[in-house]
Amino acid sequence: MNDIEIATEAARRGSAVLLRHWEQLGKDDADLKARNDWVSRADRESEAAILSFIREQRPHDSVLGEESGKTAALRGGGNERTWIVDPLDGTSNYLQHFPVWSISIGLLRGSEIVAGLIYEPLRDLFYTAERGGGAFRNGRRMSVSTQSGVEGSFLATGFPFRAQQFVKTYCSIFQDVITIAKGVRRAGSAALDLAYTAAGTFDGFFEMHLSPWDVAAGSLLVTEAGGVVSDFSGGQRWLERGNIVGAPAAVHRELVALIGKYVHEDELR
């Protein structure tokens, strides 16, 4: 099996867990990891199913799961490949029975994301990409939108609920965006926001203080669909720092400039 086939089957196994628990678990069935950050039995069981299959197929690779952390390769190999897994992106949505959640699986080789998959189980949609090979939704090639700027754009974002110290900065950025964009949506799954941006549904996405498993797969989808991904100042520290802008080139350029009026990447610690 190639890497995308492995990710696809792993996501299928994780989704079987999530669909079994869907609308059976609620917010009272979850544990609080940090302020406003929840984990449930569904998250843990989905991750176990996903990682078990990946380890079976790629025992020389390392894995980084949202719930289990970094795990070294089962066997020595030294190829510096790490699978980055979010077994349920949108846990709060899932527990509130709001039908916007996904599974995200990215593959990091050295310092580059080389493969990515985002799966939306409720619609049975697979968003996939391999570096240099394009981006696809259920096998059909995707492209970012042809939007020429933030003016009149349809954007996605997320609120910095894990970084309350930046709420005021974020709100200043958001205020500027909503005065010129056609619409801004905050659905609660960063992975899906990036997948929808790659598919041209959204004209761009920006959010701060995310984790590697939130953005690893989606970032590759956007770039392979013809878009641009960066941190908040146009640099390439988005995977390590969690502040990300993904969009078609023209929208990306204007979003980074707009954000730069209020904050520089180095200030978002």
What was the pLDDT predicted at 70?
63
Q: How confident is the model at residue 35 (pLDDT cuts 50, 70, 90)?
A: low
Encode 101-122: b = buried (16+ Cβ within 10 Å), e = exposed. bbbbbbbbeeeebbbbbbbbbe
For residue 69, give both structure tokens.
Answer: 């952390």
The CA distance from 228 to 188, in Å, is: 22
What was the pLDDT predicted at 43?
87
Residue 32 pLDDT > 60: no
What was the pLDDT predicted at 269?
77
| Other Cβ atoms closer than 10 A to 81 | 19
Nearest to residue 246, comparing CAs of 234, 263, 258, 261? 234
The CA distance from 159 to 174, in Å, is: 10
Do residues 186 and 171 make contact, with C-beta atoms less than 8 angstroms apart? no
pTM of the predicted protein model: 0.93
- 89-111 pLDDT, tens digit each: 999 899 999 999 999 999 999 98
Average pLDDT over residues 34-61: 84
What are the phi and psi torsion angles at 153 (to 5°)? -85, 165
- 183-225 pLDDT, tens digit each: 999 999 999 999 999 999 999 999 999 999 999 999 999 999 9
For all residues of the chain together, what is the average pLDDT?
92
